[in-house]
Amino acid sequence: MVKVFFQDIGVPTKNRAELVDITQDVEGTVRGSEIRNGLCIIHSVHSTTAIIVNENEAGLAKDILKKVQQEYEKGADWLHDKVDDNADAHLASSFIGSTRMFPVREGRSERGTWQNIFLLESDGPRPRRIVVEVLGMRSHEHRASEQARANFSRILTLHS
Amino acid sequence: MVKVFFQDIGVPTKNRAELVDITQDVEGTVRGSEIRNGLCIIHSVHSTTAIIVNENEAGLAKDILKKVQQEYEKGADWLHDKVDDNADAHLASSFIGSTRMFPVREGRSERGTWQNIFLLESDGPRPRRIVVEVLGMRSHEHRASEQARANFSRILTLHS
Amino acid sequence: MVKVFFQDIGVPTKNRAELVDITQDVEGTVRGSEIRNGLCIIHSVHSTTAIIVNENEAGLAKDILKKVQQEYEKGADWLHDKVDDNADAHLASSFIGSTRMFPVREGRSERGTWQNIFLLESDGPRPRRIVVEVLGMRSHEHRASEQARANFSRILTLHS
């Protein structure tokens, strides 16, 4: 049986620019979905934030924020600053993107060891909402595709 | 019942660099699909365009185009310019990406208020094709996952 | 019937920075999945690589690598370099992204003529693993959605 599962994550950010690790919330949603094979989408519904996937190391977090601020410089004669003083944040969101995704396989997200999931805040502090969606098959349908995978692996072996 | 729905959007661009708002076309496809819960993929099949999600404000659109042109500078000694004089456009597409996606929930795309969808043209004018795909469950299957979501929300409340 | 299909691609990279074309591996997985309509996710499970989609032209590949190295400069006083001397590679991965995706339609990925798929290595040489996932409907379910598409196209024609 196919299932679609949603969970909203509320993140009250505390600074203008900030990285907030939401990995545990995403993982909890994947487990709670009881979906065994499918995919997980992490989507921020804002135009001045982004989603970033990388290692959670304190120095690197500062490097990422520094790079964002160098790259999308605040107050650099942007036209949008006349409307709302946050063109830099809109640019960061536009180019980096508000969405990341992972395969879900055997009930676990296919994240590498150093692939944590972060909300990049560029115009805080604000209350932010991230939609986590898990879409896929529950356990019992999986046997068929497991069989198909076994068949396919055998074919690959024969050809390689 | 699971359904997969496709709609091609044709965009005849008018300038070398341009942002074209395709939000209404994407939303029309989501509605036309009659899919209630799933996801929507917006994919440009070209290597000199990208898809960007952000606010539709005239000044910001100019800021985005200016940033693209600063970042992926035309004629900056790129080797590909010897083959075809558009390396800057290939670079913009490579780094920004040709694809964006949204969750579809209760029949609506999970777009924030200021998340419009744009084709970024970097090597126009040309006729461009964008594939919009909606994949998910039609209405009547949703009741089961709604029940599951209610259960899960209750569990979350108990634990938090 | 809905199916989820996975294939791991192992890529032993040979240089610190490198683009490896994995298009044929991805296409082989799409064909092997026997999925007719759905989507294909290409996900690198590492935090110092990215996935890029663009033309396979030798000069352009060098332009892309040059741009990555200019943009995410090695040794530019990054704090993470005190922990592990590869902050530049983490930054490239964070901003470019470790994942790309394509619609799968009528058994084929919706790639444009010049949209090849590359692993971008930024901290090699290392053995790398890329997860390719295909999720969607096998052939016989497609007739229903084909009918729905035909209906929708007719509706569009009436309204436009």
Under the banding of pLDDT at 50, 70 and 90, the label for residue A95 is very high
Query: B: neighbours with 3+ CB pairs under 8 Å?
Result: A, C
Stated pTM of the model: 0.90
Cα distances from A33 to residues A25, A29, A116, B69, B101, in angstroms, run 12, 6, 20, 43, 20
From chain A, the residues in CB contact with C95 under 8 A are: 52, 67, 95-96
Residue of chain C whose Cα is closest to the Cα of B137: C2
Minimum mean pLDDT range among A10-14, A141-145, B16-20, B103-107: A141-145
Give the pLDDT confidence score for residue C14 in this predicted structure: 98
Q: Which two tokens stand for residue C133?
A: 């996932």
Average the pLDDT over each of B133-147, C20-34, C44-58, C103-117 and give the range with the smallest value: B133-147
Burial classification of residue B62, based on how many CB atoms lie within 10 Å of its CB (0-12 exposed, 13-18 middle, 19 or more buried): middle
Q: Express each pLDDT in A103-128 by its tens digit.
A: 999 999 999 999 999 999 999 999 99
User: How far does the CA of residue B39 sit from the closest CA of chain A (Å)?
Assistant: 9
pLDDT tens-digit series, residues A27-84: 999 999 999 999 999 999 999 999 999 999 999 999 999 999 999 999 999 999 999 9
- Give the CATH number, domain containing residue B102: 2.60.120.460
Range of the domain at B113: 3-158
CB-CB under 8 Å, C142 with B32: no
When CB atoms are compared, the residue of C64, C96, C101 closest to B99 is C101
Instruction: State the DSSP H helix or E strand holding residue C88, giving kind and residue range, or none if neither.
Output: helix C87-96
Q: Has residue A92 got a pLDDT over 50? A: yes
Asked whether the beta carbons of residue A135 and residue B38 sit closer than 8 angstroms, the reply is: yes
For the segment C96-127, what is each residue's pLDDT rounded down to a tens digit?
999 999 999 999 999 999 999 999 999 999 99
Phi, psi of C115 (to 5 degrees): -105, 80
Question: CB of C70 within 8 Å of any CB in chain A?
Answer: no
C151 vs C59: CA distance, rounded Å: 46
Cβ C80–A103 below 8 Å, yes or no?
A: no
Chain position carrying tokens 């545990």: A24
- Which one of C78, C95, C131 has the shortest CB-CB distance to A103? C131
Asked whether residue A158 carries a pLDDT value surpassing 90, the answer given is no
Whether residues A141 and C2 touch (CB distance < 8 A) is answered with yes
CB C114 within 8 A of CB B98: no
Which among A58, A103, A112 is the nearest to C6, CB-wise? A103
Q: Is A46 close to B114, i.e. CB distance below 8 A?
A: yes
Neighbours of chain C (3+ CB pairs under 8 A): A, B
Please report all neighbours of A, defined by 3+ CB atom pairs within 8 A: B, C
Tokens of B13: 């661009």
Across the range A73-96, mean pLDDT stands at 97
Structural domain count, chain A: 1
Look at residues B61, B59, B27 and name the one whose alpha carbon lies nearest to residue B42.
B27
Torsion sign over Cα B107, B57, B60, B94: positive
The C-alpha atoms of residue A133 and residue B157 are separated, in whole angstroms, by 19
SS3 call for A50: strand
Q: What is the mean pLDDT of chain B?
A: 90
Length of chain B: 160
pLDDT digits (tens, 9 = 90+) for C132-149: 999 999 975 445 555 555
Distance CA C99, CA A106 (A): 19
Inform me whether the C-beta atom of residue B41 falls under 8 Å from chain C C-beta atoms: yes
B42-98: per-residue pLDDT in tens?
999 999 999 999 999 999 999 999 999 999 999 999 999 999 999 999 999 999 999
Residue-wise pLDDT for C39-93, tens only, equals: 999 999 999 999 999 999 999 999 999 999 999 999 999 999 999 999 999 999 9
**Percentage of chain C modeled with pLDDT above 90:** 86
- On average, the pLDDT of chain A sits at 90
